[in-house]
Structure 1
Amino acid sequence: MNKVYIGLGSNLKTPAQQLRQAIASIRLIPNMQLIAVSPFYGSSAVGPGQQPDYVNAAALLHTTLDAHSVLDELQAIEQGQGRIRGPEQWVPRTLDLDILLFNNDVISTQRLQVPHPRARERNFVLQPLLDLNAALLLPDGTSVAALLAATSKQGLWPLPDDTTEA
């Protein structure tokens, strides 16, 4: 059984509802079990330009699927919720589902980088991961708690508990 941590984010079309809908869709994927979902957080958009704030969370999955099959399933959910992929990286989106960790594997292909290449510096990724597993380590042995402690907490805030119900 593969242990997968994913990041969820949205800043368009009722973001908390987008995350709840994605969680419900993940529950329906054959050969995948949703184990836990972190609390939801509000976060300031990263990158150039003006964007609405994001809602972010993380989830822990168990699956018999390989990493690229998980990616295919997550991208199908994104597309089903109106995600439009283009060449621009820093754009608003209805839904962003990223594989953050896949077992203790390091994956580097044209389609997939695991651990997620920018996870180490993003409080909106690290805090939800820490909520799911306070002792979580990256494949290189780096503690998620230590990374979060070294990261600014600016631009991240907890959302009310009722936003996380799926």
Structure 2
Amino acid sequence: MITAYIGVGSNLEREKHIQAAHQELKRLADCVEPSPVYSCESVGFSGHEFYNMVFRIETELSLSELNAALKAIEIRWGRAVDATKFQNRTLDLDILLFGQLISHDKPKLPRDDIFKYPFVVQPLFDLTPDLLIPEDGRSVRAIRENMPECTELKRITFQF
């Protein structure tokens, strides 16, 4: 079994799609643990506010199998096949970490978003503050402490 961390985002019918991500991941993995859900403004484009979170999963899937399954889930829930990074979306599922694997190909691991965005590192911190990031060597806590605070990041009450 591999422990993987999946970043989830939605800014269209947010509640519906965060719930869908949870249900879909429960079909793929033996153990699915959600972080708190956060609301924040869209980054890189003008769009609706996002809900963002991270799931810790235990899976027997290979990296390529998991990546393909996540892309299929996105499409099943209304994401365009040709969707770009900075646009509104029903569901965005990104592998942040896959065990201790380091990959410079797609998907790149660890995912760069861990080091760039509070809406990624904060929910990851909530799940596993002392986890050391492969290749980088810093803990999630250290990355979070050195990231500028995002005043727009708001923890919300969400029931799974």
Which residue of 2 is the match for residue 95 of structure 1? Answer: 91
Question: Is 1:116–2:115 an aligned residue pair?
Answer: no
Percent identical: 31
Question: Is 1:152–2:148 an aligned residue pair?
Answer: yes
Q: Deviations over 1:88-107 (max 9, x none)?
A: 32111000000000001111
Q: Deviations over 1:79-135 (max 9, x none)?
A: 1100113263211100000000000111122x3111112221110110111111121
* Equivalent position to 1:136, from 128, 131, 136: 131
Counterpart of 2:3, as a letter, is K
Ranges in structure 1 where 5+ consecutive residues have no aligned partner: none
Mapped contact 2:25–2:32 kept (Cα < 8 A): no
Separation (CA, whole Å) in 2 of partners of 1:36 and 1:26: 10
How far off its partner does 1:144 sit?
A: 1.1
Mapped contact 1:10–1:56 kept (Cα < 8 A): yes
Mapped contact 1:38–1:131 kept (Cα < 8 A): yes
How far off its partner does 1:25 sit?
A: 1.2
Ranges in structure 2 where 5+ consecutive residues have no aligned partner: none
Say what the alpha-carbon RMSD is for the aligned residues. 1.3
Which residue of 2 is the match for residue 23 of structure 1? Answer: 22
Normalised by the size of structure 2, how large is the TM-score? 0.93
Residue 107 of structure 1 aligns to a residue whose secondary structure is coil
Counterpart of 2:89, as a letter, is R
Question: Is 1:59–2:59 an aligned residue pair?
Answer: no
- Paired positions, count: 158
Which residue of 2 is the match for residue 10 of structure 1? Answer: 10
Normalised by the size of structure 1, how large is the TM-score? 0.90
Separation (CA, whole Å) in 2 of partners of 1:104 and 1:64: 15
Residue 131 of structure 2 aligns to a residue whose secondary structure is coil
